[in-house]
């Protein structure tokens, strides 16, 4: 049929692209590297936003909005930050176009008269512009902490892009805070990391490892970067969220100072943290199958679809009426549900279409079910069927949805457990990288050695686990003494 999806086993990358396009999460745009997030995809993002936004607000954060354009000079103020982002900034040089050419061959070019005195960078991230404002707003220790978040779009001119996982423009949230002490900032960074972990696991059903990034992998300008790392079905890791302890690096660059209770002037301690629309890609890759998306019920825009089935006009009236009645009950029970009563396609087509879109639960309602006062619930996970009596649907359906949520997480967790293992020799390491998954290996901590490993195997240190047990031994690559193990994998 027209909706064929490349099987995962044939070509995982193509499978991913097929699923994203065919389930109508997104489409390619006329501009290279950019994508259109279609209603199916945007609804997912809205659910992600709603939940995370609530978690941020519960922990005292407030939303604000800073401009898209940043003075070019700002990017140069923090040494490591320039290094990290200079190569991928879009830059605005003119403020208007002018028409050229003759009729029939008209074109537009930047009007040389309108060249900007100071060119503007389209934000690749907002530390610089936000901390320039903090400098203005902070005077006293009483002004701290500042706990801000913004929902925004940003632009990073990457060389190679992939739907949701890496696009030129993407949507994200970026939290930015300022604190009086390093301890307080570090607490904040860990609080957010925990929010990310909880969100990934409890809502996206994505088991994640948390930990610290190495010097090589940390955010440009940070003292230290924490991250959550998820594992995709093909055995590659995906960084799903980061939380940075920025120390006083930006505070010094932008002169964000406050007068302490003791009277002296001190620089603030900043943190920044973010997750992006990449999370949608993570959900697709972690849970989907050869029939399409599988969405975790807690963030699925549509949790259940009711498919009435009929053979004649009378049955059609009967089953559709019953479907509407059930739809009403489920809505009152807080379930996101709709009836698919289209007469233009047959039930089999509807099954395939809703499976492609990842709706967790299908409720089939034919004459037999109407006669018995029940519906046939079919799980998107494994197509297992459960007949449910109409009485009690307000409880049985939410219970089934929760069961699917749990099973989805458990399945992903098992996949990770099965492909997470310790390796001690370089041979085992190389072979392990090839077969995918997380490798627990000793590493000396040297950046050069880490680069060497990446060059040779494409694997990188994903995280250094927190509170890792002492497990001294030789570095898996260079043999130098290592205190313990870190997590390696090939990553997206």
Partner RNA sequence: CGGGGCGUGGCGCAGCCUGGUAGCGCACCUGUUUUGGGAGCAGGUGGUCGCCGGUUCAAAUCCGGCCGCCCCGACCA
Looking up tokens 């370089």, which residue turns up? Answer: 426
450: DSSP letter: H
Judged by CB under 7 A, the chain residues 431 through 490 that form the site for RNA are 454, 458
Among 40, 126, 128, 161, interactor with RNA by CB under 7 A: 161
Cβ contacts of residue 420 below 8 Å, gap of 6+?
437, 438, 439, 440
3-state secondary structure of 259: strand
Q: What beta strand segments (E) does 390-458 contain?
A: 420-422, 438-442
Q: How far is the CB of 124 from RNA (least distance, A)?
A: 8
C-alpha dihedral over 251, 252, 257, 261, to 10 degrees? 100
SS3 of residue 33 by DSSP: coil
From the list 80-88, 113-121, 136-144, 481-489, the region that binds RNA by CB under 7 A is 80-88
* Residues 92, 119 contacting (CB under 8 angstroms): yes
- Does position 88 interact with RNA (CB under 7 A)? The reply is yes
* Residue 106 within binding range of RNA, rule CB under 7 A: no
What is the x/- site pattern for RNA, positions 34-73, by CB under 7 A?
Answer: ----------------------------------------
Q: What are all long-range contacts of 426-432, with beta carbons under 8 Å and residues at least 24 apart?
A: 426/476, 426/477, 429/457, 429/459, 429/476, 429/477, 429/488, 430/456, 430/457
- Angle between helix axes 313-332 and 393-418 (nearest 10 degrees) is 80
Question: Is residue 383 at the binding interface for RNA, with CB under 7 A as the rule?
Answer: yes
Pairwise CA distance, residues 3 & 350, whole Å? 12
Binding piece for RNA, criterion CB under 7 A, among 66-74, 111-119, 198-206, 271-279? 271-279
Residue whose C-alpha is closest to residue 394's, from 304, 326, 302, 330: 330
Q: Does 346 bind RNA (CB under 7 A)?
A: yes
> Where in 329-406 does DSSP place strands (E)?
337-339, 361-365, 374-379, 385-389
Q: Which is nearer to RNA, 70 or 138 (CB)?
A: 70
Interaction of residue 24 with RNA, rule CB under 7 A = no
Stretch that binds RNA, among 90-98, 343-351, 434-442, 468-476 (CB under 7 A): 343-351
Task: Give the pair of three-digit tokens for residue 326.
Answer: 């059930």
List the interface residues with RNA, window 230-249 (CB under 7 A): 239-240, 242
When the beta carbons of 56 and 273 are compared against RNA, the nearer one is: 273
90 contributes a contact to RNA by CB under 7 A:
no
Q: Is residue 369 involved in binding RNA (CB under 7 A)?
A: yes
Alpha-helical (H) ranges within 307-346 are 313-332
**In sequence order, what are the beta bridge partners of 244?**
225, 272
**Which of residues 94, 162, 224, 252 is near RNA by CB under 7 A?**
162
Measuring CA to CA, which residue among 336, 329, 334, 331 is closest to residue 304? 336
- Residue 205 — φ and ψ, nearest 5°? 60, 35
Q: With respect to RNA, which residue has the nearer C-beta, 3 or 57?
A: 3
Site size toward RNA, by CB under 7 A:
62
CB under 7 A: which stretch of 60-68, 84-92, 175-183, 393-401 binds RNA?
Answer: 84-92
The contact mask relative to RNA for 172-211 (x = CB under 7 A, - = no) is ----------------------------------------
User: Toward RNA, which CB reaches closer, 242 or 270?
Assistant: 242
How many CB atoms neighbour CB 100 within 10 A? 11
Nearer to RNA, 275 or 423 (CB): 275
Q: Which residues bind RNA (CB under 7 A)?
A: 1-5, 13, 17, 28, 31-33, 84, 87-88, 156, 158-162, 165-168, 170, 219, 239-240, 242, 274, 276-278, 291, 309-311, 316, 343, 345-349, 351-353, 355-356, 364-369, 376, 378, 383, 454, 458, 491-492
């Amino acid at each position: 049929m027209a909706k064929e999806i490349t099987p995962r086993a044939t070509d995982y990358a193509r499978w991913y692209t097929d699923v994203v396009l065919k389930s109508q999460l997104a489409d390619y745009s006329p501009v290279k590297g950019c994508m259109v997030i279609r209603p199916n995809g945007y609804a997912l993002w809205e659910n992600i936003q709603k939940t995370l936004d609530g978690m941020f607000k519960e922990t005292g954060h407030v939303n604000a909005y800073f401009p898209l354009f940043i003075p070019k000079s700002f990017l140069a103020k923090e040494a490591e930050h320039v290094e990290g982002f200079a190569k991928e900034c879009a830059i605005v040089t003119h403020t208007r176009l002018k028409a050229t050419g003759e009729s029939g061959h008209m074109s537009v070019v930047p009007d040389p008269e309108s060249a900007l005195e100071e060119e503007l960078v389209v934000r690749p991230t907002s530390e610089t512009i936000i901390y320039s404002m903090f400098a203005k707003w902070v005077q006293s220790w009483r002004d701290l902490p500042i706990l801000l978040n913004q929902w925004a779009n940003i632009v990073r001119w990457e060389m190679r892009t992939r739907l949701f996982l890496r696009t030129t423009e993407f949507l994200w949230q970026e939290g930015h805070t300022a604190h009086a002490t390093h301890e307080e900032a570090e607490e904040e960074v860990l609080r957010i990391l925990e929010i990310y972990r909880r969100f990934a696991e409890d809502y996206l059903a994505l088991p994640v490892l948390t930990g610290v990034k190495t010097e090589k992998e940390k955010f440009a300008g940070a003292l230290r970067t924490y991250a959550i790392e998820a594992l995709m079905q093909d055995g590659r890791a995906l960084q799903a969220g980061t939380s940075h302890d920025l120390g006083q690096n930006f505070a010094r660059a932008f002169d964000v100072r406050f007068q302490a209770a003791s009277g002296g002037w001190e620089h603030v301690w900043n943190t920044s943290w973010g997750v992006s629309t990449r999370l949608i890609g993570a959900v697709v890759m972690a849970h989907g199958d050869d029939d399409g998306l599988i969405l975790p019920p807690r963030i699925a825009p549509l949790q259940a679809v009711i498919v009435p089935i009929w053979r004649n006009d009378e049955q059609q009236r009967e089953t559709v009426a019953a479907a509407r009645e059930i739809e009403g009950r489920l809505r009152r029970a807080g379930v996101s549900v709709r009836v698919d009563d289209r007469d233009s396609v047959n039930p089999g087509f509807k099954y395939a279409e809703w499976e492609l879109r990842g709706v967790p639960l299908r409720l089939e309602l034919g004459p037999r079910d109407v006669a018995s006062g029940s519906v046939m619930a079919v799980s998107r996970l494994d197509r297992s069927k459960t007949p449910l009596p109409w009485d009690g649907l307000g409880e049985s359906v939410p219970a089934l949805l929760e069961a699917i949520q749990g099973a989805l997480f458990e399945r992903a967790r098992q996949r990770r457990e099965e492909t997470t293992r310790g390796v001690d020799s370089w041979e085992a390491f190389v072979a392990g990288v090839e077969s995918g998954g997380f490798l627990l290996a000793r590493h000396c901590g040297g950046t050069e050695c880490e680069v060497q490993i990446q060059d040779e195997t494409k694997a990188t240190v994903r995280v250094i686990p927190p509170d890792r047990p002492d497990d001294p031994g030789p570095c898996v690559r260079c043999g130098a003494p290592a205190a313990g193990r870190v997590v390696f994998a090939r990553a997206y």
